[in-house]
Amino acid sequence: MDTPGEAARLRIYLGDNDVFGDRPLCDALVFKAREMGLAGATALRGIMGFGQKTVPRSTELILSRDLPIVVEVVDSRDRIEQYYQAVEPMLRAGLATIETITVLRHGGASAGAEGTAPQC
């Protein structure tokens, strides 16, 4: 994605305990987006939520250790669809959505240090 304009945002909803191989699933998804050269990806930890099992997960509940996480990936619609096809086998359950968005700004300050691991 080179310039502002129409793009797509993929959101993948998962839990903090979800893994792919020996690493957190959110890490695997963000690193796959980087490997594929997508415009951007972010993993966001929620403070409360529920999903298919309808069991609320919250930072308030001592018993909850599986907080909600949303991974957002932004790029052109075609590249987002290619990315989703690549990561779909990593996803056991959960929800994924795709939306058309308008990018107002892209680029600017230099990116973070090479090889820095995302903090999920």
List the CATH number of the domain containing 29. Answer: 3.30.70.120
Q: Whole-angstrom Cα distance, residue 31 to residue 37?
A: 10
Where is pLDDT greater, at 67 or 115?
67
pTM above threshold 0.95: no
Residue 109 is assigned to a structural domain of this protein: no
Each residue of 9-56: pLDDT tens digit? Answer: 999 999 988 999 999 999 999 999 999 999 999 999 988 777 766 666
Residue 58 is assigned to a structural domain of this protein: yes
Average pLDDT over residues 48-73: 71
What pLDDT is recorded for position 63? 54
Q: Whole-angstrom Cα distance, residue 82 to residue 79?
A: 5
Residue 115 is assigned to a structural domain of this protein: no
